[in-house]
Structure 1
Amino acid sequence: MGAGHERAEERRRLRALAVCLLVGFMSLLDVSIVNVALPSIEHGLGASEADLAWVVSGYALTFGLILVPAGVLGDLWGRRTAFLTGLLLFTLASAACGLAPTATALVIARLAQGAASGLLGPQISGLIQEMFAGPARARAFGWFGTTVGLATAAGPLAGGLLINAAGSESGWRWVFFVNLPIGLVAFALALRLIPRSGRRLVVEPGAGITARIDFVGVLLLGAGLLAVLLPLVQEQQWKSPAKWWLVVLGVLLLAVFARWERGRTLPLVDLSLLATRSYRYGVSLGMFYFAGFTTIFFIFTLFLQRGLGYSALEAGAAITPFAVGSAVSAALGGRLVSEHGRVVTIVGLVTVIAGTGLTTLAVHLVPGQHTAYATAAPLLLAGIGSGLTIAPNLSLTLSEVPVQRAGTAGGVLQTAQRLGTATGVACVGAVFFAHLAGGGSWANAFQLGTLVAIGFELCSLVCALADVRGRDRAEPATRPER
């Protein structure tokens, strides 16, 4: 009877994991699916370049701003409650995006959608921490890594298919409407399958809401991140160099935030987490890696559609090899990491760097309409490396974090990833568009931008190597003397 009960609980956990992965895929898909829909939005709503920029960057901005407070809410209220709330808000915001009568209305709905997605993110990693342990947790994070890689890479293909089916005039609306049936089904399943949180942060009985939620910390962190992210996501629209003073202001606000948090009984961000080597290096690795690999899709899609005249569907299909490689290797990485640890991410990063470099070489050697065929194998290789990087890093980063702080820790990790994405898009985009503005070719612009992305990927490799070196130094100190 005991064994039967345990098997039933295991099946319930796996079903709950499937719901989490479905919702994670849906929310992360909206980060990249909109890229190929921009021409359709411009045609259908008469949107300006600034409107289109905000449709893309506004989602990422509110997504990043809400992640850490969302993690705290999950730790305090219970992740099931926060998960269901975020899912409902995301579904409603998706409907508002699809029904938007004007470009301004679409931008506002996208801001709300990004915030709802940010509320969901930490709950998914927190629920995995809570439901699984040991090798089972590593495998669960492996499936989550597969979901992240698939959602990021499959977004352009999914968008291209929807627009091709519905037409350029209103096809962009179905990019958002597709979330409605998924969201409703997922909500019904989550009500039945997602377990109630058994481990919440404990605060003093009778403590008011201000004792449980650090509103000053929320304000300082939000203002600091906004000041840092805004000039990055608007780098192409704000031409004045004065915008970079906002980054300085943001850094100062974040420094004030760090000082404020040290005096809190229940801090918004437990800075002691950064004293844990695996967490510190994992967060840094994730930030640099997302600055590199996500930006490649940004410039590759532009290169194919505007430079070579590919349709939205063709451009999306060209990125499919990366998604396939990531899907195949991420589950494998989740299993290997429990035995081989950080070595798995090092192998993954080296593979990503090699695949990215070969993609650049393929564009140089095979210019013109056959570029997509030439880049298929290198992108497949890069995808395999990505699958061995994202999921294992997520598992290793959170491996030593107390379950009660899993939501907050996951929120900080994903905030670092969003900050990395915004920074990468700004830096890679600046090189890419500057070369085009100077009369350079689309192919050369892509190659130069990719070199910058490889630089970020190399920084993530340095973080992984530093973690291994720190672990090797720590082991002799903890080994008992004979």
Structure 2
Amino acid sequence: MTARPSAPVSASGEATGGDAIGADGVSERTRWQAFAVAVAVASLTILDLSKVNVGIPAIEQAFGASPTQIQLIVAGYVLAFGIVLVPSGRFGDLHSRRRMFLIGLVVFLIASLLCAIAPTVELLAASRILQGVSAGLLMPQVLGLTQQLFTGAARGRAFGIFGAVIGLSTAFGPTLGGLLIGVGGPELGWRLIFWMNVPLVIGLFPFAYKLLPRAQPDAHGPRDLDLFGTALLGGTVLSLMLPFVLTTGAPDDDPSRWWWLAAFVALAVAFVAWERRYTGRGRAAIVDFALFRIGAYRNGTLIATAYFAAMPATFLTLSLFLQFGLGLEPVYAGMVTIPFALASAVTSWYSGRVATTIGRPVVVWGLVGVVLGLAGTIASAFLLPAGISPWVVAGFMALAGAGGGAVIAPNQTLTLADVPLTSAGVAGSIGQVGQRAGTAVGIAAATAAFYATIYAEEGRAGRVDVYQDAFLHASLVILAFVGVALVLALLDLRARSTDSL
């Protein structure tokens, strides 16, 4: 079912007073209620990226899991997430974002239940992959719906809220996971991490069914879904991410996994050639390559990819260091990230409001704050006594969080600002693929540096010294990714300044 495009409450995206009705017949109150449901579900998918990290030691102990199995539990979610994003975004753009959202919500419910009752580590890993599939169905619809519901200043505010929620979900995930493990103990606690999703999804489903818009803008041109192109794209994303998912830092890592990158190059070339041929016949391609000619979209996607290579890896390696190195209980290890979450929420909300007026400089200064905060975190963990280190680390994580909040929301707003509304879902999906690929690469690189150091130094020094070195090496990898994001933001800022002359 299609209808004319959604309009903001007013042409500028501002409320006109009261519960104003837009040109599409949707009231301002209903818009924000629908947005709240969508963002609440998005936060669940991001929470499951971060809250599981703090449960890894308990899962490892419960099943006697190998490093490869643990990596599949952590990164298999990201892998499946990335593979499904673009086709689900494209289908949502062409047919119904609401329908795809509701399907994704049901799959997320089933996958969470399977994770909670998994009797073996293999079934847990498989259920996590299914959970990643559901997240890949959901996230593009959230971004597409946000584009559809708002324009102008209202869209900036919406993405500011979105960024704040995602920042809170990412940073509070370890704390929440730690609390659940503290309540349930090592045997049951990690299962509660997944059980938590079940009542939340059941509660959100009727609101999603009622509030999400049934109509959406007409998608001009062909409405077919390129199945062969979808398969090629899935193979391309899989072959890019899989070798990193299989990288654990253990001495027995199979070097042949890197041949998957050769397959990635071949499949990427085949995908581009097929899509051009398919489009040349007047059909609808799965990826609109014209999007990459939009400078703001291309540059913003690259910045987000580099940034998301850094931050999830930061929370994972910091949690490992605090628990294994300093001996903190999971709940206390999770609490160290609370200052990051709070600072990120504040700056996300504010920076989303000013993104359309100030532009890329907000992102640049945010990345500078992240670099300074992470550098202070590394120095605190490496130089200070174990009794003091977590407190000082929490302070520097607040600085990193303040910077991070000024990255996600403004970058999302700037990236999608010039994208046509009828391509909002697939454009958001491509950006999310970059973020998920970045996450897989970042987690693999950082954890490989972390565990490789432990294997190399095992038996040579005290436990704290070994884990300090491991965290230092992992953090240097993470800082390199943030540095890449900062360089890309500066280049984009320079390009914008040149264009304005």
TM-score range, shorter chain: over 0.9
Deviates more, 1:457-466 or 1:271-280: 457-466
For residue 4 of structure 1, report the CA deviation from its aligned partner. Answer: 4.6
For residue 28 of structure 1, report the CA deviation from its aligned partner. Answer: 0.8
Per the alignment, residue 480 of structure 1 pairs with none
Output the amino acid matched with 1:225.
V
Unaligned runs of 5+ in 1: 205-210, 477-482
Deviations 1:417-474, CA, capped at 9 Å, x for gaps: 1111111122222222222222162112212221221111111111111112212222
Output the amino acid matched with 2:476.
L
Deviations 1:302-342, CA, capped at 9 Å, x for gaps: 11111111111111011111111111110011011021011
Per the alignment, residue 254 of structure 2 pairs with 240
Cα pair 1:292 1:454 within 8 Å, conserved: yes
Cα pair 2:19 2:29 within 8 Å, conserved: no
Correspondence 1:381-460 to 2 at 5 A: 381-439=399-457, 441-460=466-485
CA shift in 2, pair 1:239/1:46, >3 Å: closer
Correspondence 1:5-404 to 2 at 5 A: 6=20, 9-204=27-222, 212-236=224-248, 239-263=253-277, 264=279, 265-404=283-422
| Aligned-partner Cα distance in 2 for 1:50–1:472 | 47
1:468 matches 2:493: yes
Unaligned runs of 5+ in 2: 1-15, 458-464
Deviates more, 1:438-447 or 1:56-65: 438-447
| Aligned-partner Cα distance in 1 for 2:355–2:364 | 11
Query: 3-state DSSP class of the match of 1:170?
Result: helix
Cα pair 1:203 1:212 within 8 Å, conserved: no
Deviations 1:93-148, CA, capped at 9 Å, x for gaps: 11111122222222221111110011101110110000000011011001111111
Output the amino acid matched with 1:151.
S
For residue 387 of structure 1, report the CA deviation from its aligned partner. Answer: 0.3
| Aligned-partner Cα distance in 2 for 1:39–1:464 | 36
Per the alignment, residue 8 of structure 2 pairs with none
Deviates more, 1:11-20 or 1:378-387: 11-20
For normalisation by structure 1, the TM-score amounts to: 0.94
| Aligned-partner Cα distance in 2 for 1:42–1:441 | 20
Per the alignment, residue 479 of structure 1 pairs with none
Cα pair 1:89 1:116 within 8 Å, conserved: yes
Cα pair 2:54 2:319 within 8 Å, conserved: yes
For residue 15 of structure 1, report the CA deviation from its aligned partner. Answer: 0.9
| Aligned-partner Cα distance in 1 for 2:166–2:19 | 32
Counting aligned pairs with the same residue, the percent is 41
Cα pair 2:85 2:429 within 8 Å, conserved: yes
Query: 3-state DSSP class of the match of 1:384?
Result: helix
CA shift in 2, pair 1:46/1:13, >3 Å: same
| Aligned-partner Cα distance in 2 for 1:421–1:137 | 26
For residue 401 of structure 1, report the CA deviation from its aligned partner. Answer: 0.4
Query: 3-state DSSP class of the match of 1:227?
Result: helix
Cα pair 2:54 2:316 within 8 Å, conserved: no
Query: 3-state DSSP class of the match of 1:167?
Result: helix
Query: 3-state DSSP class of the match of 2:219?
Result: coil
Cα pair 1:326 1:387 within 8 Å, conserved: yes
Cα pair 1:283 1:397 within 8 Å, conserved: yes
Output the amino acid matched with 1:201.
A
For normalisation by structure 2, the TM-score amounts to: 0.90
For residue 46 of structure 1, report the CA deviation from its aligned partner. Answer: 4.6
| Aligned-partner Cα distance in 2 for 1:87–1:37 | 23
Cα pair 1:78 1:196 within 8 Å, conserved: yes
Report the count of equivalent residues. Answer: 469
For residue 197 of structure 1, report the CA deviation from its aligned partner. Answer: 3.3
Query: 3-state DSSP class of the match of 1:128?
Result: helix
CA shift in 2, pair 1:475/1:313, >3 Å: same
| Aligned-partner Cα distance in 1 for 2:288–2:169 | 30
Cα pair 1:356 1:454 within 8 Å, conserved: yes
Cα pair 1:47 1:103 within 8 Å, conserved: yes
Cα pair 2:68 2:247 within 8 Å, conserved: no
Output the amino acid matched with 2:123.
A
Deviations 1:274-322, CA, capped at 9 Å, x for gaps: 0000001001000111112221111111111111111111110111111
Cα pair 1:145 1:387 within 8 Å, conserved: yes
| Aligned-partner Cα distance in 1 for 2:163–2:428 | 14
| Aligned-partner Cα distance in 2 for 1:449–1:39 | 18
Q: CA RMSD in A?
A: 1.6
| Aligned-partner Cα distance in 2 for 1:117–1:390 | 19
CA shift in 2, pair 1:306/1:4, >3 Å: closer
For residue 3 of structure 1, report the CA deviation from its aligned partner. Answer: 5.4
Query: 3-state DSSP class of the match of 2:217?
Result: coil
Deviates more, 1:401-410 or 1:289-298: 289-298
